[in-house]
């Protein structure tokens, strides 16, 4: 199991935030999620990933937030176009996600306990 907090370099770098609400049932989601994590880790510019999932509200949906980190915007954009990832995206729209949002940002600061807050 990967570390829950990704080890990233000094900024700047790119964060892609994928927030989703799952539909009920697995329908192959868990296997595809593992495969996409493994494939992403092999891509140029991949720096790491952090992901959490929890029940939301009173309905059956599960909210998930996955943040992947990339060296450049171009690296993040290239990952979006990888053939197997395109298949996963289509399957997500068709079966796995009731709703989702993708946000792309440049990380300017990055620090943790005992570190310089200007890192």
Give the tens place of pLDDT for each residue, 14-57.
999 999 999 888 889 999 999 999 999 999 999 999 999 887 76
- Using CA atoms, how far apart are residues 6 and 24, in angstroms rounded to an integer? 29
For residues 40 and 1, the model is more confident at: 40
Region 83-95: mean pLDDT is 95
Q: Which residues contact 9 (CB under 8 A, 6 or more apart)?
A: 47, 71
Strands 62-70 and 97-107, sheet pairing: unpaired
Min mean pLDDT across 9-13, 47-51, 73-77, 114-118 is at 114-118
The reported pLDDT for the residue numbered 12 is 98
* % residues pLDDT > 70 (the chain): 92
Q: How far apart, in Å, are the Cα atoms of 40 and each of 32, 84, 90, 115?
A: 12, 10, 17, 28
Tokens of 99: 């709703």
- Using CA atoms, how far apart are residues 36 and 84, in angstroms rounded to an integer? 8
The reported pLDDT for the residue numbered 59 is 64
Nearest to 56 by CA among 98, 101, 4, 5: 98
| pLDDT-based confidence at residue 116 (cuts at 50, 70, 90) | confident
Tokens of 68: 């992947």
* pTM for this predicted structure: 0.90
46: β partners: 70
The reported pLDDT for the residue numbered 114 is 86
Question: H/E element holding 80?
Answer: helix 73-80
Kindly indicate whether the domain formed by 13-107 is annotated with CATH number 3.30.70.100. yes
């Amino acid at each position: 199991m990967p570390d829950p907090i990704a080890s990233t370099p000094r900024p700047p770098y790119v964060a892609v935030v994928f927030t989703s609400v799952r539909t009920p049932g697995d329908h192959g989601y868990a296997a595809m999620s593992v495969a996409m994590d493994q494939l992403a880790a092999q891509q140029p510019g991949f720096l790491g990933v952090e992901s959490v999932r929890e029940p939301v509200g009173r309905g059956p949906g599960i909210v998930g937030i996955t943040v992947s980190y990339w060296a450049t915007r171009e690296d993040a954009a290239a990952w979006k176009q990888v053939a197997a990832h395109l298949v996963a995206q289509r399957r997500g729209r068709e079966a796995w996600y009731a709703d989702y949002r993708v946000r792309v940002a440049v990380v300017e600061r990055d620090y943790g306990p005992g570190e310089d807050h200007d890192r």
